[in-house]
Structure 1
Amino acid sequence: MNRICLKIEFDGTDFCGSQLQPNGRTVQGQLEAALQTMLEVPVRVHPSGRTDAGVHARGMVVHFDTERSLPASAYREGMNSMLPPDLAVIGVAPVEDCFHARFSATGKRYRYTLLLSQQRRPLVSRYVWRVEPDLDLAPMETAAPDFVGVHDFIRFRTSGCSSQRTVRRIDAINFRSEGNLLHIDVVGSGFLKNMVRRMVGCLVEIGRGQRDCRDIGRMLQDQPVERPALTAPPSGLCLEEVFYDPPPGFR
């Protein structure tokens, strides 16, 4: 049996999420359908995690097992010939049997993109959250480092989160401006459901002057302060990288 690892990219706008669902178009469902057609047997795909409806990925990782031995180019070109335009295999690597796309991951990097503009931008609207251009970035950048470290992020998950453990480690949170786009990169060991979107929503509340920049630290220390009211929309969120040690040798 051969274990194959894929790096995939997708536009999540028209997906009901990445994980297989009984009703609804999903990334996992499309991958499994393409593999079944290609390999002529049912194939179960194991993703590195789940993304919600509307969330994008530039570097999600999945693995599957097969008895067939094919070169990396055959998987990449064969699957891409059958996958829809909003989903593609961009890397293939054979891996050891002990590798697991989810449980072998050491961390992930997400990027959330804000469009600071009163004007709609149709060519980027699927990949951003458009907010007011006078958002005050200084207190947002002052507050953001309070997320870094090991904390209980129970106030930064949504009600649909089923995880029993809510402590997570955030390694870095960085801001980068590109014209009127603001990219917020978050690197961590793992994330709760909607956690990054809640973090960004809280930062936007701070930038709007609706919340004190010290509130993030207070919430993470379980002090009596109102939890974030905003959950940033999924359109601005993209899974950029999944980290492994050692990394798969994608081709």
Structure 2
Amino acid sequence: MGLEYDGSAYCGWQRLKHAASVQAEVEKALSRVAGQAITVHASGRTDSGVHATRQIIHFDPPVRRSEKAWVFGTNANLPRDVAVRWVRSVPASFHSRFKALARRYRYVILNQPSRPVLERANTTWCRDPLDEGAMHLAAQALVGEHDFSSFRAAGCQSKTPWRHLHFIEVHRHGPLVVIDVQGNAFLKHMVRNIVGALVTVGRGGGGVDYLTGLLAHQNRTLGDVTAPGCGLHFVDSLYDESWGLPREPLGPNLLAFLGEWTGERELPDCPMIDFRRGKPMIKVNARIWMPGQVTEEVKEGSDE
């Protein structure tokens, strides 16, 4: 099932006892359609205030319903800030989290002197002029596989700080500065901490080697502030084409003019991608990882 949601009113995706979550709302709506309790599993966890336009979940239906019934019935029981976009049947071997080949986020900054009104809930406002060219150059130091300890929240539960960024780009479209990043997975607050450092570069507070230095420190206490959650959008979770999931235009709708669709970019030659496509053994940083070890590594730590 593909979901879209405005995360402003929620503590994030993951169900918590003390606060409203997107997962709890979705499970409650699905359970009403099924007439029985349903638990869902998501492609990644989003943080408090973070939005999503292509969150992929899976669940085992306890009763038979048509695709139309799942979509329209669930939407009828969801609050207005959460919606089902589509649903598909998949083999039992599918897992929304452990079969994902990549995840992609877009961070949207409204760079203008006056505070936003219509865009206040889905962009981050920066009144200081930003040099998007310098930000893009500085960001390229993060592409590839690295220890991202300098961009990892103190409460991150991941067993390893290593992640593989496939690409990171910074573009300006009028007053909008968009940071577009894709990787195999992300540590807690990783994207927002990267954005905080890039904004420092954009304001002229650091050179194009600024993020290279932060990466080398492997120390979060030497990093920048964490950017607000309201500008962050989870826009894609990529899977092998054999699963037959729908292709969609990438969000948020604020950036629809860019015209890019899910899966259009070629994935890099990456050990994790090979492993999730069924290869029995992979090599990471001159170490051999057996499949069980890799699975345990990625069970924790996602994410924004």
Q: Which residue pairs with 2:23 in the alignment?
A: 28
Matched, 1:203 2:198: yes
TM-score scaled by length of structure 1: 0.93
Gaps of 5+ in 1: 1-5
TM-score scaled by length of structure 2: 0.77
Q: Which residue pairs with 2:189 in the alignment?
A: 194
- When the two chains are superposed, the root-mean-square deviation of aligned CA atoms in Å is 1.7
* Superposed CA offset, 1:156-188 (max 9, x none): 011111111110000011223222011111010
Q: Which residue pairs with 2:130 in the alignment?
A: 135
* Superposed CA offset, 1:64-111 (max 9, x none): 001322221111111001100000000111111111111110111100
- Write the distance in 2 (CA, Å) between the matches of 1:97 and 1:224: 41
SS in 2 for 1:44: coil
Return 135-144 or 233-242, whichever deviates more. Answer: 135-144
- Write the distance in 2 (CA, Å) between the matches of 1:83 and 1:139: 42
Change (3 A) 1:212 1:56: same
Matched, 1:123 2:123: no
- Write the distance in 2 (CA, Å) between the matches of 1:54 and 1:67: 32
Runs of 4 or more off by more than 6 Å in structure 1? 223-226
Letter in 2 for 1:200: V
What are the residue-to-residue correspondences of 1:1-251 with 2, within 5 Å?
Answer: 6-222=1-217, 227-246=222-241, 247-250=243-246
- Write the distance in 1 (CA, Å) between the matches of 2:163 and 2:55: 20
- Which structure: greater strand fraction? 1
- Write the distance in 2 (CA, Å) between the matches of 1:141 and 1:81: 42
* Superposed CA offset, 1:22-70 (max 9, x none): 1211111001111111111111111111111100000001110013222
- Write the distance in 2 (CA, Å) between the matches of 1:11 and 1:223: 33
Identity among equivalent positions (%) equals 38
SS in 1 for 2:138: helix
SS in 1 for 2:217: coil
- Write the distance in 1 (CA, Å) between the matches of 2:34 and 2:179: 40
- Write the distance in 2 (CA, Å) between the matches of 1:16 and 1:222: 31
Change (3 A) 1:219 1:121: closer
- Write the distance in 2 (CA, Å) between the matches of 1:61 and 1:18: 12
Letter in 2 for 1:70: R
Gaps of 5+ in 2: 248-304
- Write the distance in 2 (CA, Å) between the matches of 1:222 and 1:18: 31
- Which structure: greater helix fraction? 2
Change (3 A) 1:115 1:29: same
Letter in 2 for 1:175: V
Letter in 1 for 2:101: T
* Contact map agreement 1:104 1:244 (CA 8 A) in 2: yes
Task: Answer 1 or 2: higher relative contact order, Cα 8 Å, separation at least 6.
Answer: 1
- Write the distance in 2 (CA, Å) between the matches of 1:173 and 1:115: 19
